[in-house]
Structure 1
Amino acid sequence: MLRQSLMATAVGAALTVLVAGCTLQPKYERPAEPVTSTFPEGGIYANQPDASSTASNGRSANSLAAPDIGWRDFFADARLQRIVEIALKNNRDLRVSVLNMEAARAQYQITRAGLFPTIDAVADQSKQRTPKNLSFFNQTISNTYSVGVNASWEIDFFGRIRSLKDQALAQYLSLAETRKAAEISLVSSVADQYLQVLALDDLLTVTRNTLKTADESYRITKLQYDNGVGSELDVRQAQGVVEQARANLQTEMRLRAQAVNALVLLVGEPLPDDLPQGVPLDSQNLLSDIPAGLPSDLLTRRPDIAAAEQSLLAANANIGAARAAFFPRVSLTGSFGTLSPTLGGLFKPGSAAWSFAPQISIPIFEGGANVANLDLAQVQKRIEIANYEKAIQNAFREVADGLAARGTFDDQIVALQRFVESQSRRLELSDLRYRNGVDSYLAVLTAQTDLYSAQQLLINARLQRLNNLVDLYQFLGGGWIERAGDQPRPADAPVDYGSAAPAAPAAASGTSAASAASVSKLTPIEHLMPSAPQAETTARSNAPG
């Protein structure tokens, strides 16, 4: 009995291995990080703002990492928050990114279906005439009726279909991470464009004030010239300042209109009239002390790096499929039903019919195609390794650049504020000296022009500082959650686009048609297969079985 039990166990295990087969994918090993273990330190990198910095205005990240800070917490401007909210619902590039992800999900389902048998119900009638000299009993017309089921199944002994399935899964997950990166980038782009509009508003204010002052100076110098107490040189110099300010005003008005158009494109619809009141550029209170962490943190924080690694996993799985092409392919086909020469006799006793046809196909000569396909798959993997390493290097560079900028902007803006104050005082003194006849009018015009340039420099520096904070928030992986404390969504999480949202098909989600009709959100892949970590483990499964 014990021997029989052991024999039965061994046979069962052998059958399990036979059906499950093995996989010829190489064992996946994550490439080493091609960057240093820390971001640059010392010098300007050491001068990072904290909660006590004057520019923070009492707002602090409280040591939270960027992915844990919601974009509503990062942006303090209620108007900007509302615009970002609208953009996440209406931006067409983001919508295309989601639909690309859904297309990849459908492709994964198509590929995975190859692991299972196909069963079709068939009904058939055939009528045939045989020449009389070849017929039996002068029956020249014969009829055949059949009803039954046909089944076919390729047994995946060497993991070819499983490798293709793992490849399709990794491609899906890569596009899901790409969609996540697109959403994070959209939040950053909307904020940058909104800040650009505010900066142009400030430039327009400065230019209008300069034009107003220049007009008044021109009126006075022309009046003096007309009364014979001034020179034409003073008049022309004053007129030059006026015309330059007018030209700048037109340029800035044009740039502001174009900036608003760019913002509308990002938002995906005209800006509504009921937006909350915004705050000016110099009152934007963004979180400025978000910690950078370590470069290794970027592997989990940056969706573009995750997308590159999934593409590498797809290339690794493709090698398994290319290797499996060298081995035999075994398929089973069969049918079962009833067969009768008359329609009424289909279901009578004795009409049962069946067929079973196993087939094995062994590659002998393919003209080198299989070898070339394997070489191609291995080259593609090396390409994806390089792309993955480049994604890490690019992320490292972006964060390092952001930290370098963040370490300098606060001091730069303080210096420019003092510069503007000094130029304003210089203009007052030059005007006083001119009115007292101590100096020429050229000194007044020069001081006025220099003050205008200093004010423009200050506005541009404020804009660059805010853009740097927004971009660094994105580079560190922030912008995926709405509020701090929210549970982060999976990269393929459902997205609600309102009435424009495509409903998930019943067949894809495993629900009935009635329940699918009530779904207004896209279905994540967790509903279609094992959880993403399990699926990723499958995609990284070890070498030949």
Structure 2
Amino acid sequence: MTHKSSFTPLATALACALLAGCNLAPQYQAPPLPVPETVAPPLAPDSSPTQAVPLAEAGPMQWQDFVQEPRLRQLVGLALEHNRDLRLALLAIDKARAQYGVARADRLPTVNASGAGSRARTADDLTTPGRPNTSGQYSATLGFSSYEIDFFGRVQNLNDAALQEFLRVAENRRSVQLSLVAEVMGAWLLLDADARRLRLARDTLATREQALALTRRSHELGATSALALAQAQSSADTARVDAAAFASQVARDRNALALLAGAQVPDALLPASMGATQAPATTATTATALLAVPADLPSSALLQRPDLRAAEHALRGSYANIGAARAAFFPAITLTASVGTASNALSGLFDGGNGTWTFAPQLRLPIFDAGRNQANLRVAEVTRDQSLAQYEKTIQTAFREVADALAERATLSERLAAQASLVQATRRTLELSDARFRLGADNYLSVLDAQRSLYAAQQAEIALQLAEQVNRVTLYKVLGGQWAGG
């Protein structure tokens, strides 16, 4: 046996491996969108004076461009670095990547080199006279064992399923990051609003305590009734309760923000409303950009959302699993082959004529399995149907989220303008009621009613301002963090 011919079995096995390539998986076709072609247009044009970012021209918007407030931008960066949920998502990607590497390695034979040597002595009584009773054996081989020739695509489909799982986990990481960015922005905006509510409550408390002191003095002089004094005391106590409640809410907001950030939030990154020098309580901070979303936004644009892409990868992986389940009905061919050399003396291990080789193909044909393969195929098909239903539900959920955000946005400008007008009107009413009370033309009850109306209107204005900013964040999130025209 020559050195050249000793490698023939190994070459034959590799040639057989190259012949494999039949794939029994059903061909994937993207299902039609179970929603209208375009997202419902807003009920009315948005007349907000904020500069709109032309996404259709500028392309996808990153969160750094969406966040306008420098402190909030730094806080989001801090959260992306330290948040534990995002860290878990990154570790899940590393795990899925490793699992895909294992599945991909199964498509190629594992070649091993081995060397062995032994020395043995036989008892004199068991040895033919004149022959040595000490012998040795040495060998060196190169080959592979139990390598499956993938004629019917079982290994390939398992590899494809692992790839789709890796891609799905990667999209989940994008989804977690997008949700984290939105949650941090929402928590920061809520803290800003609650801090302004707290300051409004404290300012109102200070004003009402001054009014209470004047009323008490007037009552002592006999110019004011005990009823007016009790009403003033009730008004001041109500403001005191609100101030304490909002102080507690601000503390909880800070704790929630610290959890999202994954670390204690420095005071320098908190909203300006938390500082010593403050603007009026009803002045809102424009922390985010205004998205320029066309009225005829195509539903297909939602397919760029990471949760939709993850659902599609899960659907693709289920198709590959069907192919692997179908391949179990067909014969499986495995090969074990090796080439090498052997000798009874280490010095003659590589001498001519000492070459060895083995070639051991094995055929496994399923004949009776009590319906196991059929059941596994049914499981794979039902899993595919479940993935399809989940994919369609995710699309419908995304469509509704975008439509709801646009419907909310359509009336926010009008509501904000109306609320600002209401605040001005109630403030004027309070001024007139107080003047009439001081002139004796009206009782103190009208002043209390005007105070309550103004306070409620101002609190509602802060809530609407928060809703407008949160709506921007929601729209950014439900659009998948971007919208590209085309």
For 1:237, the aligned partner's letter is Q
Question: Do the aligned partners of 2:339 and 2:356 also contact (CA within 8 Å) in 1?
Answer: yes
**Alignment deviations for residues 4-46 of structure 1 (CA, whole Å, 9 cap, x no partner):** xxxxxxxxxxx789713210000111111111112224xxx23
Give the CA deviation at 1:115: 0.8
Question: Do the aligned partners of 2:205 and 2:240 also contact (CA within 8 Å) in 1?
Answer: yes
Residue aligned with 1:115, SS: coil
Residue 86 of structure 2 is aligned to residue 94 of structure 1? yes
Question: Do the aligned partners of 1:21 and 1:157 also contact (CA within 8 Å) in 2?
Answer: yes
In structure 2, which of residues 188, 208, 229 is the aligned counterpart of residue 235 of structure 1? Answer: 229
Per the alignment, residue 356 of structure 2 pairs with 353
Per the alignment, residue 32 of structure 1 pairs with 32
Give the CA deviation at 1:455: 0.7
**Alignment deviations for residues 180-204 of structure 1 (CA, whole Å, 9 cap, x no partner):** 1222222211111111111012101
Residue aligned with 2:91, SS: helix
Distance in 2 separating the partners of 1:461 and 1:127: 90
Q: Which deviates the most, 218-227 or 335-344? A: 335-344
Q: 1:230 to 1:174 in 2, by over 3 A?
A: same
Question: Do the aligned partners of 2:137 and 2:342 also contact (CA within 8 Å) in 1?
Answer: yes
Residue aligned with 1:46, SS: coil
Q: Could you list the runs of 4 or more consecutive aligned residues of structure 1 that deviate by over 4 angstroms after TM superposition?
A: 15-18, 126-143, 273-281
Residue aligned with 2:399, SS: helix
Residue 443 of structure 2 is aligned to residue 446 of structure 1? no
Distance in 1 separating the partners of 2:74 and 2:461: 28
For 1:47, the aligned partner's letter is A
- What pairs with 1:11-410 in structure 2 (closer than 5 Å)? 19-41=19-41, 45-49=42-46, 53=47, 55-57=48-50, 59-64=51-56, 68-126=60-118, 143-152=136-145, 153-272=147-266, 275=269, 282-284=284-286, 286-292=288-294, 293-299=297-303, 301-410=304-413
Residue aligned with 2:52, SS: coil
Per the alignment, residue 520 of structure 1 pairs with none
Question: Do the aligned partners of 2:17 and 2:149 also contact (CA within 8 Å) in 1?
Answer: no
Question: Do the aligned partners of 1:78 and 1:276 also contact (CA within 8 Å) in 2?
Answer: no
Give the CA deviation at 1:168: 0.5
Q: 1:136 to 1:307 in 2, by over 3 A?
A: farther
Give the CA deviation at 1:141: 6.6
For 1:376, the aligned partner's letter is V
For 1:180, the aligned partner's letter is R
Residue 423 of structure 2 is aligned to residue 420 of structure 1? yes
Give the CA deviation at 1:285: 5.7
> Is there any run of 5+ residues in structure 1 with no aligned partner, and where?
1-14, 485-545
Residue aligned with 1:347, SS: coil
Distance in 1 separating the partners of 2:83 and 2:371: 48
Give the CA deviation at 1:454: 0.9
Residue aligned with 1:359, SS: strand
**Alignment deviations for residues 459-478 of structure 1 (CA, whole Å, 9 cap, x no partner):** 00110111011110111122
Give the CA deviation at 1:63: 4.9
Distance in 2 separating the partners of 1:477 and 1:237: 53
Give the CA deviation at 1:344: 4.1
Q: 1:335 to 1:235 in 2, by over 3 A?
A: same
Q: 1:65 to 1:140 in 2, by over 3 A?
A: farther
Question: Do the aligned partners of 1:79 and 1:278 also contact (CA within 8 Å) in 2?
Answer: no
Give the CA deviation at 1:342: 4.0
Question: Do the aligned partners of 1:56 and 1:286 also contact (CA within 8 Å) in 2?
Answer: no
Structure 1 length as normaliser, TM-score?
A: 0.79
Q: 1:17 to 1:107 in 2, by over 3 A?
A: closer
Give the CA deviation at 1:286: 3.4
Q: 1:432 to 1:274 in 2, by over 3 A?
A: closer
Residue 481 of structure 2 is aligned to residue 478 of structure 1? yes
Distance in 2 separating the partners of 1:408 and 1:276: 29
Question: Do the aligned partners of 1:335 and 1:355 also contact (CA within 8 Å) in 2?
Answer: yes
Distance in 2 separating the partners of 1:250 and 1:139: 102
For 1:287, the aligned partner's letter is A
Q: 1:414 to 1:112 in 2, by over 3 A?
A: same
Q: 1:373 to 1:334 in 2, by over 3 A?
A: same
RMSD across aligned C-alpha pairs, in angstroms? 2.6
Per the alignment, residue 531 of structure 1 pairs with none
Question: Do the aligned partners of 1:36 and 1:295 also contact (CA within 8 Å) in 2?
Answer: yes
Q: Which deviates the most, 92-101 or 288-297? A: 288-297
Distance in 2 separating the partners of 1:448 and 1:285: 30
Distance in 1 separating the partners of 2:330 and 2:124: 50
Question: Could you say which structure has the larger radius of gyration?
Answer: 2
Question: Do the aligned partners of 2:104 and 2:159 also contact (CA within 8 Å) in 1?
Answer: yes
Give the CA deviation at 1:331: 1.3
- The percentage of aligned residue pairs carrying the same residue is 41
Distance in 1 separating the partners of 2:378 and 2:126: 57
Give the CA deviation at 1:276: 9.4
For 1:253, the aligned partner's letter is A
Question: Do the aligned partners of 1:48 and 1:403 also contact (CA within 8 Å) in 2?
Answer: no
Question: Do the aligned partners of 2:198 and 2:243 also contact (CA within 8 Å) in 1?
Answer: yes
For 1:269, the aligned partner's letter is A
Distance in 2 separating the partners of 1:426 and 1:74: 40
Give the CA deviation at 1:257: 1.6
Residue aligned with 2:22, SS: coil
Give the CA deviation at 1:278: 5.1
Q: 1:243 to 1:277 in 2, by over 3 A?
A: closer
Distance in 1 separating the partners of 2:407 and 2:374: 50
Residue aligned with 2:363, SS: strand
Question: Do the aligned partners of 2:43 and 2:411 also contact (CA within 8 Å) in 1?
Answer: no
Question: Do the aligned partners of 1:67 and 1:477 also contact (CA within 8 Å) in 2?
Answer: no
Distance in 2 separating the partners of 1:131 and 1:164: 55
For 1:408, the aligned partner's letter is T
Distance in 1 separating the partners of 2:134 and 2:267: 81
Give the CA deviation at 1:270: 2.2
Structure 2 length as normaliser, TM-score?
A: 0.88
